[in-house]
Chain A
Amino acid sequence: MRIRLGLALVLALVALALFAPLLAPYPPAAQLDLETLRNVPPSVAHPFGTDPYSRDLLSRVLHGARLSLTIALLAVALAVTVGTAIGLASGWAGGLADTVLMRLVDAGLAVPKIFIVLVVLALWEKVTVVALIAILGGTGWFGVSRIVRAEVRAARDREYVAAARALGASARRVVLRHVLPNVAAPVIVIAAMGVGQVVLLEAGLAYLGVGVPQPTPSWGNIIADGQHLLLTAPWVATSAGLAVVVTVLAFSLLGDGLREHLDPRTR
């Protein structure tokens, strides 16, 4: 049930993002009329209202979905790839390599992520989308590698791994065929949950002013636009804020549902 709801929401979000140019009533950066259309509350003409620059919020939120979701999906893909590779290597090799890698991961997990991200992003003069993906993905793999490593440690001592080796399977084959599928389930769950987390983090960064630069809309910078107006024009921040909430909820539901679906013990 949860998995269906989560999946439906995620698919709807992806569809909205994909078809944003068709669905949005106005260009997202168009300043419609700086004299009369600033901070207009939600109405038929502007269902989400307009922002201080007289831009249509519905259009901005729809277009913001493209950027926010793209960043989140790619960052998670990067984190999962790196985390799985490092976890596999660490768990399979064992010994010194394992110790060194896992202590690095411990160090990475010990420092608050927002702090690392802020420090690294400060090095860029202008934050680009690629930089944002690289840094969000590059700091997101620690937890993944930990879990993958634990699964690999458990799987490498299974009898079927010994049986495969006894019949002449190469180490590479054993890892890819017999060990990797074991880690797939937890990794898929982490990835699904992770997308929501990254959307949230991206919004937080934009709010702090280190996100995607204006006038490109992202949910984070829409919220940032509205932060001074929470009492006078609350719809500005609320529009993108709701989008973030729905997205996080959708991916959490999907992740939770997948966990139940993939784990035979809870079936």
Chain B
Amino acid sequence: MTALLEVRDLRVTFRTADGPARAVDGVSFALAAGETLALVGESGSGKTVTALALLRLLAEPPADVDPASRVLFEGRDVLQLDGEALRRVRGAGMAMVFQEPMTSLNPVLSIGLQITETVQAHERVTRRGARDRAADMLALVGLPDPRAALGRYPHELSGGMRQRVLLAMALVCRPRVLIADEPTTALDVTVQAQILELLAELRERLGMAMLLITHNLGIAAGIADRIAVMYGGQLVETASRQTLFREPRHPYTLGLLRAAPRLDGPAAPTPAIPGAVPPATAWPTGCRFRPRCPHAWARCETAPPLLEAATAQQARCWLVEQPGGAPA
């Protein structure tokens, strides 16, 4: 299966007062048609910057995307596209849904206008045709009375409904890839579940690939085919969903899984990973997880590459080569 989207060695540096911040540092992954890949990590691990870089949405400066980075969408490097060609990829090829449904809609424009705007940006359609498409899309994302909803303004809708509208906006041009950055974080838990269900269903119906960005392993578990765990601007482990949950190979992944509170066992304090993500201006030398890792030993002073742990599973940890860890 050839990849629809292939990211090779993506590096994004921000110029800051404290020196260059290597927010994304050599991230590579591939996304096949119809596949869902979840990018999981803590705040500050570089997930959102990765997503924004894919569509060239980072302000440059202060961001600086390494010219050697490649973002191949259907074989073309998005990072080399300019002006009109780039505009056409955005929305029609790859679309993005943002985190905050409250602020991602323009408060002074009607819902209908904001959706038809996307259609008209990409296709030659009449105003009426665009409105029909918008209404169909609103029906598809499960908004009651879509025709009437076209004339509404964002403040008249609840958070869950707004997120549905944002989905409709993103999907109305049938993109091949949907990038969803924390699409449910700002929503109530019950609404979260509905939106995730909707996402899974839409992916199925529209046959698109999805890159889901989340800090919540539970969400990734519910919807992703493959999961990539990010830490310190790098991927530290990628595996299929089943493998990752059954046999995590990176201590960080294990820590994340352990830190998830369980509802089915006796109440106990959740074991947290000690410490916090270091700032991107000062990554530790060697393995970036070393200062927080319970297994760290001398070898970790050399940065490990992504090592093949099993079929379709890679982990950035020397433990993959030396399962026993530190020689006694």
The distance in angstroms between the C-alpha atoms of A160 and B166, with both chains bound, is 10
* In contact, B117 and A162 (Cβ under 8 angstroms): no
Residue of B nearest to A155 (CB): B106
Give 1 or 0 for each of B47-87: 1 = CB within 8 Å of chain A CB: 00000000101000000000000000000000000000001
- How many Cβ-Cβ contacts under 8 Å join chain A to chain B? 69
* In contact, B106 and A166 (Cβ under 8 angstroms): no
* In contact, B104 and A159 (Cβ under 8 angstroms): yes
A89 at the A/B interface (Cβ < 8 Å)? no
Contacts of B122 in A (CB 8 A): 168
Given the interface pairs A158-B103, A159-B103, A160-B103, the reply to whether A166 lies near B121 with Cβ below 8 Å is no
* In contact, A159 and B98 (Cβ under 8 angstroms): yes
- Stretch among B88-96, B236-244, B293-301 lining the A interface: B88-96
Contacts of A165 in B (CB 8 A): 57, 90
* In contact, B105 and A167 (Cβ under 8 angstroms): no
* In contact, B105 and A163 (Cβ under 8 angstroms): yes
Q: What distance in Å separates the Cβ of B97 from its nearest Cβ neighbour in chain A?
A: 8
Residue of A nearest to B171 (CB): A167
* In contact, A177 and B104 (Cβ under 8 angstroms): no
* In contact, A168 and B98 (Cβ under 8 angstroms): no
The distance in angstroms between the C-alpha atoms of A158 and B166, with both chains bound, is 15
A173 at the A/B interface (Cβ < 8 Å)? yes
B170 at the A/B interface (Cβ < 8 Å)? yes
A182 at the A/B interface (Cβ < 8 Å)? yes
B17 at the A/B interface (Cβ < 8 Å)? no
- Contacts of B111-166 to chain A: CB distance below 8 A: 114, 117-118, 121-122, 166
Give 1 or 0 for each of A146-184: 1 = CB within 8 Å of chain B CB: 000000000000111011111111100100011001100
Contacts of A169 in B (CB 8 A): 87, 91, 117-118, 121
Q: What distance in Å separates the Cβ of A165 from its nearest Cβ neighbour in chain B?
A: 6
B308 at the A/B interface (Cβ < 8 Å)? no
Task: Tell me if A's interface is mostly helix, strand, loop or mixed.
Answer: helix
Contacts of B169 in A (CB 8 A): 163, 167
The distance in angstroms between the C-alpha atoms of A166 and B106, with both chains bound, is 14
Residue of B nearest to A161 (CB): B106
Within 8 Å by CB of B91, from A159, A166, A181, A182, lies A166
* In contact, A162 and B57 (Cβ under 8 angstroms): yes
Q: What distance in Å separates the Cβ of A265 from its nearest Cβ neighbour in chain B?
A: 13
Give 1 or 0 for each of A75-115: 1 = CB within 8 Å of chain B CB: 00000000000000000000000000000000000000000
B108 at the A/B interface (Cβ < 8 Å)? yes
**Listed residue (A158, A165, A170, A182) with the most chain B CB atoms within 10 angstroms of its CB:** A165
Q: What distance in Å separates the Cβ of A161 from its nearest Cβ neighbour in chain B?
A: 8
Q: What distance in Å separates the Cβ of B307 from its nearest Cβ neighbour in chain A?
A: 35
* In contact, A166 and B57 (Cβ under 8 angstroms): yes
Contacts of B55 in A (CB 8 A): 166
Given the interface pairs A163-B166, A164-B106, A181-B108, the reply to whether A170 lies near B98 with Cβ below 8 Å is no
- Contacts of B163-185 to chain A: CB distance below 8 A: 166, 169-170, 173
* In contact, A162 and B98 (Cβ under 8 angstroms): yes
The distance in angstroms between the C-alpha atoms of A245 and B158, with both chains bound, is 48
The distance in angstroms between the C-alpha atoms of A75 and B105, with both chains bound, is 36
The distance in angstroms between the C-alpha atoms of A160 and B95, with both chains bound, is 14
Residue of A nearest to B59 (CB): A157
* In contact, B104 and A160 (Cβ under 8 angstroms): yes
* In contact, A163 and B104 (Cβ under 8 angstroms): yes
Contacts of B310 in A (CB 8 A): none
Contacts of A159 in B (CB 8 A): 98, 100, 103-104
The distance in angstroms between the C-alpha atoms of A168 and B120, with both chains bound, is 10
Given the interface pairs A162-B57, A177-B117, the reply to whether A168 lies near B103 with Cβ below 8 Å is no
B276 at the A/B interface (Cβ < 8 Å)? no
Q: What distance in Å separates the Cβ of B66 from its nearest Cβ neighbour in chain A?
A: 22
The distance in angstroms between the C-alpha atoms of A174 and B259, with both chains bound, is 43
The distance in angstroms between the C-alpha atoms of A177 and B121, with both chains bound, is 12
Residue of B nearest to A160 (CB): B106
Contacts of B98 in A (CB 8 A): 159, 162-163, 166
* In contact, B109 and A168 (Cβ under 8 angstroms): no
Q: What distance in Å separates the Cβ of A184 from its nearest Cβ neighbour in chain B?
A: 9
Contacts of A162 in B (CB 8 A): 57, 98, 104
Residue of A nearest to B113 (CB): A177
The distance in angstroms between the C-alpha atoms of A162 and B55, with both chains bound, is 11
* In contact, A167 and B170 (Cβ under 8 angstroms): yes
Contacts of B95 in A (CB 8 A): 166-167
Contacts of B170 in A (CB 8 A): 167
* In contact, A182 and B108 (Cβ under 8 angstroms): yes
Q: What distance in Å separates the Cβ of A92 from its nearest Cβ neighbour in chain B?
A: 13
* In contact, A167 and B90 (Cβ under 8 angstroms): yes
5 other A-B residue contacts (CB within 8 Å) besides A167-B96, A168-B91, A168-B121: A158-B106, A159-B100, A164-B106, A165-B57, A167-B121
Interface pairs A-B: 9 shortest CB-CB: A168-B91, A167-B91, A159-B103, A168-B90, A166-B96, A160-B106, A163-B104, A168-B121, A159-B104
Can you pick out 27 interface pairs between chain A and chain B where the beta carbons lie within 8 Å of each other? A158-B103, A158-B106, A159-B103, A160-B103, A160-B104, A162-B104, A163-B105, A163-B166, A163-B169, A166-B57, A166-B95, A166-B96, A167-B90, A167-B95, A167-B96, A167-B121, A167-B173, A168-B88, A168-B91, A168-B92, A168-B118, A168-B122, A168-B173, A170-B121, A177-B109, A181-B106, A181-B108
Q: Which residues of A contact B (CB under 8 A)?
A: 158-160, 162-170, 173, 177-178, 181-182
